[in-house]
Amino acid sequence: MKTIPGGYHNKLLRLNLTNKSHSIETIDNEILLKYIGGRGLGVKYLFDEVDPKVDPLSPANKLLFVNAPLHGSNAATASRFTVVTKSPLTNGVSSTNSGGHFGIDFKNTGFDLIILEGKSEKPCCIFINNETIEFKDARHIWGKNTHDTNDEVIAETDPKAAVACIGPAGEKAVLIAAIMNDKGHASGRTGVGAVMGSKNLKAIAVMGTKRTNYINDNDIDTAKKEWQTFIGEAPLTKNALKEYGTPALVSIINDRGGFPTKNFQEGYFANADSITGETIKELYFVRSQPCKACPIGCAHLSKTPDREGKGPEFETVWSLGAACFVNDLEQITNANYNCNELGIDTISAGSTIACAMELSEKGYFDEETFKLIKKDLGKELKFGDAEAVVKLTELIGKAEGIGKIMGMGSLKLSQKYGHPELAMQVKGLELPAYDPRGFYGMSLSLSTSNRGACHLKAYLVATESLSTPFEINRFTGKGKPGLTKLYQDLTSTIDSMGVCIFTSFALNPIHYANMMSAITGVKMNSKELLKIGERIWNIEKLFNLGAGLSRKDDTLPPRLMNEPFTSGHSKGVKIDLDPLLDEYYKIRGWTKEGIPTSEKLTELGLD
C-alpha cells in the first residue's frame, strides 16, 4: 500500500543519547495498520529491537514514546500517549500511557514514534520542534522536582512546548519511578522513570506545526458525533467521573467488600467516607482540568492549606489511604503531591508502604532496619500513621534512608526480609484497589496481565460491580476466562488508538472500529479490530516469555487465594485460579503452560 493511511505521519524519530545523533525513518504502512499506534506500535518495535533478556537499566534497553492516529482529530479523549520499554520492576514488557496535553503536542512534531537509545554521558534534555532536534545540557536541573523541571525546560525552549520529565526518583533509579508530564499526569507504572533516568535523560520538550492528514473528514465527524452522544449519555462518563473524578468509585468498591485495607488483610474500610470523591470536592477541590479533547473531565486540581496540585485519584486515595489504614485526607493529598513532584507511582508507593507497615508490625525487619526507621520517622512504623505516609513518600522519591530500600517496590522489599508473601503484587507490580476476593473475574485479569497487576488492561470491575455494559455475578468464575480475553484484546486496541479507557464505559467494539475506519480511511469491522488487539496481547506475551516469565508468574499473592475475608460483603470467598487459567489459555489458543501455539501465531501473522 503506497497511500499513507489517515491519522499518521509515517515517521519515527530515532535519538541516540550516546553520541547525540538522530535519524528519521519511515514506518511501513502494514505495521501501522496491524498495530495501530500507541501501545501496539510501541511493543512491536520493542519486540523487534530489544533483547528480552537485556538489563532494563543498561544502555542496551530502549525507551519509546508513541502517539496514536486519533491524536489531532479532536475525537473524545484522544490525547493519551504511550511509553514502552522493558520494565526494571517486573523484568517484562512495560507499556504505560498518560493524558494531558503532551500527546497532542508530540503528534504535532510530525512523528508517530520516538525511539531513545544508548545513554548520555551527562544529564541532558531534548527539545523537538518539528524536525529540529536539540540536545541540551541538563546538569543545572538535575535533582529538581518535576514541577520546577517543567517550568525551567519551558523557559529554556518555548512557552508553547509540552514537557515530559523525571524527578529525583527517576534520576536515582528508584524502581517505582514515573515519567510526569503537564505537571501531574503520569506514565506511572512499572518503573519507566528509572529507565529514563538510567539514560541520563531529564526531560523531553515537544512542539510543532505538523497537522495530521485524514482521508474523509465527513466520516470522522460522523464517528466523533457518535462517540460524543454515547459518552454524553452513559451515567459514569456523564455524571460521576465529571463531578467527583475517579474517587467517585470509593464508596462503590468499599460497599462491595472489595476495597483492600491494611495491605489486603481486610476488604472493607470503615473510614472510607473520609476519602471519597464527595469529601475531596467538599474540602480540597479547586477546579476541573480535563485532558485535551476530553468531554469527561475526571482530572481535578486540589489544594490543601499548604500545597496544591493534581489529584488525588481513586487508586491514590486507596494506596496512600485505606491500604495503609489511613483516613486523613489532607495528609493523603500531600503525600500524593510528593509522588507527583518527586516522580513516583502512587499505587506502588502506597502499596509498598503498606507492605512495610505489616513487616514492621509483625517484627520481620532486622534490628538495623528498625533503627533506620526510628531515625527517619522518629517512631516505629505502624498502620494508620498518616504522617509516616507523607514522610515515606518523600524518602522514597529522594532514595534516602529507609526510602532507598522501599523504592525497590514491595516484592524486593519483602524478599529482603524473608516474607515475599506480604507483597501484594503480580510479576513484581503492585496490585490496584480491587481485591479479587470481591471481584472474582479480576483474579484472572490481574494474574494474566502482561505488565503485571494492572486493572487497566482488562477492567472486569465494570461488569462485576458497575453494571457497565451489563452486570454479572462477581463471585463466580463462570464465563470469566472468555470475558477476560475479550476485555484484554479490546483494551489493547483502545490503548493503541490513544484514547482513554473510560470511553469503554460508554462505547463498544463497533464504535471503536467505526472511528478507526473513519480516521485511517481503511474499512475495518469490530472483529478485525479485536484481532489487532489479540495480536498486540500475544506479542507482549512472547516478549515476556523471552524474558523468562512463565505460567508460574500468572498468579496472585497467596493471601488472596488462601485467606478468605471473615466479615463483610465478600466474606468467605477464596480464589481457585488454576481452573480459570487452564480455560483462559485454551480460549487464547495457548498451551497449558501459557505459550502461544504455532497455529495461533500463524493466525495472527506472528509466525
Please check whether residues 311 and 447 belong to one and the same domain: no
Tell me: pLDDT of 3 over 90. no
Residue 358 belongs to what H/E stretch? helix 346-361
Please check whether residues 76 and 146 belong to one and the same domain: yes
Is residue 6 in some structural domain?
no
350 confidence band (pLDDT: 50, 70, 90)? very high
Give the pLDDT score at 1: 43
User: Which of these three, 429, 452, 479, is where a domain ends?
Assistant: 429
User: Which of these three, 429, 462, 484, is where a domain ends?
Assistant: 429
Helix (H, G, I), strand (E, B) or coil at 179: strand
Is residue 216 in some structural domain?
no
Give the pLDDT score at 427: 98
Alpha-carbon torsion, ordered 549, 552, 556, 559, to 10 deg: -130
Is residue 220 in some structural domain?
no
Question: What DSSP state is assigned to residue 291?
Answer: P
Q: Rounded to whole angstroms, how far apart are CA atoms 529 and 163? A: 32
| Contact present, 36 and 535 (Cβ < 8 Å) | no
Is residue 219 in some structural domain?
no
**What residues does 187 pair with on adjacent strands?**
179
Tell me: pLDDT of 2 over 80. no
Once rounded to an integer, what is the mean pLDDT over residues 360-379? 98
Please check whether residues 425 and 442 belong to one and the same domain: no
Residue 420: asked if its preceding bond is cis (omega within 30°), the reply is no
Q: Which of 358, 354, 343, 344 is nearest to 319 (CA)?
A: 354
Is residue 126 in some structural domain?
yes
Q: Rounded to whole angstroms, how far apart are CA atoms 413 and 421? A: 11
Q: Which residues contact 167 (CB under 8 A, 6 or more apart)?
A: 144, 145, 146, 149, 177, 180, 193, 341, 342, 343, 344, 397
On average, the pLDDT of the chain sits at: 96
For 151-199, how does the pLDDT look when each residue is reduced to its tens digit (9 = 90+)?
A: 999 999 999 999 999 999 999 999 999 999 999 999 999 999 999 999 9
Please check whether residues 200 and 122 belong to one and the same domain: yes
Is residue 378 in some structural domain?
yes
| Contact present, 102 and 181 (Cβ < 8 Å) | yes
Is residue 233 in some structural domain?
no
Please check whether residues 257 and 398 belong to one and the same domain: yes
Please check whether residues 258 and 397 belong to one and the same domain: yes
Residue 14 belongs to what H/E stretch? strand 11-16
Q: Rounded to whole angstroms, how far apart are CA atoms 42 and 495? A: 11
The CATH number given to whatever domain includes residue 81 is: 3.60.9.10
Please check whether residues 197 and 254 belong to one and the same domain: no
Q: Rounded to whole angstroms, how far apart are CA atoms 511 and 508? A: 5
Once rounded to an integer, what is the mean pLDDT over residues 71-87? 97
> Total structural domains in the chain?
3
User: How many CB atoms neighbour CB 576 within 10 A?
Assistant: 11
> Which DSSP string do the residues of 477-507 spell out, in sequence order?
-TTHHHHHHHHHHHHHHHHHHT--GGGGGT-
Domain that holds residue 535: 434-603
For 226-281, how does the pLDDT look when each residue is reduced to its tens digit (9 = 90+)?
A: 999 999 999 999 999 999 999 999 999 999 999 999 999 999 999 999 999 999 99
Tell me: pLDDT of 547 over 60. yes
What percent of the chain clears pLDDT 70, i.e. is strictly above it?
A: 100
Grid cell, residue 512, equals 471503536
Please check whether residues 156 and 190 belong to one and the same domain: yes
User: Which of these three, 429, 460, 479, is where a domain ends?
Assistant: 429
For 197-231, how does the pLDDT look when each residue is reduced to its tens digit (9 = 90+)?
A: 999 999 999 999 999 988 888 999 999 999 999 99
Is residue 214 in some structural domain?
no
Please check whether residues 192 and 283 belong to one and the same domain: no
pTM above 0.75, yes or no: yes
Please check whether residues 163 and 187 belong to one and the same domain: yes
The CATH number given to whatever domain includes residue 481 is: 1.10.599.10
User: How many CB atoms neighbour CB 421 within 10 A?
Assistant: 11
For 24-39, how does the pLDDT look when each residue is reduced to its tens digit (9 = 90+)?
A: 999 999 999 999 999 9
